[in-house]
Amino acid sequence: MPAGAGCIATLKTGDRAGERCGRNAREGSDKCGTHRHWIAPPPRCIGVIRAGTQCTHNGESAAVPTCARHRGTARTVDALGVDVLALPPCSRAGCRRGITAANAHNECAHHQLVRAHRERHQQRVALFRKIHDAYRAIRPPLALGVPLHAAIMREIQRVSMRVFRHLIDFGVEQSEENIRVIAAIYPPRDDAVVIEEDRERHELWNRLFNGGGAGAAAPNTLAGIATSRQSVHASEVVQQAARGMDFLLKVKIPSGWDDESKVLGELKALWTGQEHAALHADMRAWWNQKSCFTTDDYMYRKLLTGLWTYVKSEENDGERRAELEKRMFQECSEAVRMCCQGHTNRLVNVLSGFVPGVEIVVPQPKGEILQQQFALIGAMENLEDRTRRANEVIAELGLTAEEAAPWLEAIE
């Protein structure tokens, strides 16, 4: 093309949308440098729809100027001529739809929905920021230039999201007064507790991934868990979880057993029924979760694979495997809507009572802990050992003589 000829590309946005570019084309090309990769849009279908307006779909090509639906039709713009009605065009650049309803922005129905969705999203972002700022406002002032600890920021975001979901899910008026009232229902935890948990968690995972083990558990493990009002992020719980996770990560996985279709597919075949759809969706989502405790660790996937491999390895003991599958279903069901650590702790819970040294890591009623511990005690052959361990469990849980009597009788 001779130098100085205009670029043939058309603009998509701005006040000149739909017009020619206007810049000089590059030598040997019909387009300028900006539009060197521009491809001419396909022609608009010349078919006429039942309403008497031109079809808004693209034609197949310059040789076949109709879409697949109107291929071969006699109702075309050329055939009907001036009888074809024209709707006012949508104000969005490049849109071929006509205005289907009167609106302030002169947009078609599709772009009205797009605008409504964007505005709703912007409103919700503004609401979350307002809640977040409300929590920041009630905090004691910091010295100039001193940032909040990252763990404290995450805690503020956690409680802010709970208030946000409360306002959205229950349709509460999003006034500043309501935000203050609901924020009082979800107070953030003490800064010292949050920072200490964050420090312990990092220290724990550094030891775990560096091969140093998870360390020893506190001596009052069972009692602490049975009466704990803390979350799954408490120190004893994190240490208990690490022991179980260390066990699962060391399970030898046969070749091909870590495939999604192998693990999730077999569990879906085991837990059938439409009522389990939410459970399988949750497990699939966490299976694909790249980062849990560290970047790209795929921790839930690794633990679930190790756990399912361990359960299947009990094929020679049908009763034990059935109990493991039942426990696994219960724990995975209860993990739905939990955080990453809640999900991983629930997987570790399955091992409690089956693997020595692995205890319950998620708070449970005393009755459930007793059942699981006494199931392990009942497998001991020596009566003296059974009695000694039973008394230890009873003492740790703080049972009265009346509460302990039936359990002691069961192991005699």
* Three-class DSSP labels, 378-404: HCCCCHHHHHHHHHHHHHHHCCCHHHH
Alpha-carbon torsion, ordered 97, 100, 106, 108, to 10 deg: -40
Q: Tell me the pLDDT tens digit for each residue of 316-350.
A: 777 888 899 999 998 898 888 777 778 888 898 88
Q: In degrees rounded to 5, what are phi and psi of residue 17?
A: -55, 130
Residue finishing a domain among 188, 222, 245 = 188
Helices (H), 49-108: 77-80
Q: Are residues 167 and 275 in the same domain?
A: no
Q: Tell me the pLDDT tens digit for each residue of 223-245.
A: 444 444 444 445 556 667 788 88
Q: Tell me which range, 200-209, 229-238, 296-305, is most confidently predicted by mean pLDDT.
A: 296-305
Residues in CB range of 286: below 8 A, 6 or more apart: 300, 301, 304, 340, 343
Looking at the DSSP assignment, which residues form a beta bridge with residue 58? 44
Q: Are residues 183 and 218 in the same domain?
A: no
Q: Are residues 184 and 199 in the same domain?
A: no
- pLDDT of 257 > 60? The answer is yes
Looking at the DSSP assignment, which residues form a beta bridge with residue 76? 47
pLDDT category, 209, cuts 50, 70, 90?
A: low
Q: Tell me the pLDDT tens digit for each residue of 351-401.
A: 887 887 666 555 555 665 676 677 777 777 788 888 888 887 787 777 777
Establish if 221 belongs to a structural domain.
yes
Helices (H), 170-234: 176-185, 191-209, 221-227
Q: Are residues 177 and 203 in the same domain?
A: no
Q: In degrees rounded to 5, what are phi and psi of residue 327?
A: -65, -40
d(CA 229, CA 20): 68
Q: Are residues 333 and 202 in the same domain?
A: yes
pLDDT at site 169: 85
Q: Tell me the pLDDT tens digit for each residue of 132-182.
A: 988 888 776 654 455 678 888 888 998 999 899 988 888 888 888 888 888
Q: Are residues 236 and 304 in the same domain?
A: yes
Give the Cβ contact number of residue 37 at 10 Å.
7
Q: Are 45 and 65 in contact (CB under 8 A)?
A: yes
- pLDDT of 302 > 60? The answer is yes
Establish if 377 belongs to a structural domain.
no
Q: Are residues 237 and 336 in the same domain?
A: yes
Establish if 43 belongs to a structural domain.
no
SS3 content of the chain, % helix, strand, coil (to 5): 50, 5, 45
Establish if 314 belongs to a structural domain.
yes
Residue finishing a domain among 157, 188, 219 = 188
* Cα torsion angle, 337, 341, 344, 348, sign: negative
Number of domains in the chain: 2
Q: Are residues 267 and 140 in the same domain?
A: no
Q: Are residues 360 and 223 in the same domain?
A: yes
Establish if 394 belongs to a structural domain.
no
The residue segments making up the domain with residue 239 are 194-364
Q: Are residues 209 and 334 in the same domain?
A: yes
What's the burial of 353, exposed, middle or buried (CB within 10 Å: 0-12/13-18/19+)? buried
pLDDT at site 188: 87
What Cα–Cα distance (Å) separates residue 75 from each residue in 84, 86, 244?
Answer: 10, 15, 71
Q: Are 301 and 253 in contact (CB under 8 A)?
A: no
Q: Are residues 164 and 235 in the same domain?
A: no
Q: What is the 3-state secondary structure (H, E, C) of 73-88?
A: CCCEHHHHHHHCECCC
Q: Are residues 162 and 245 in the same domain?
A: no
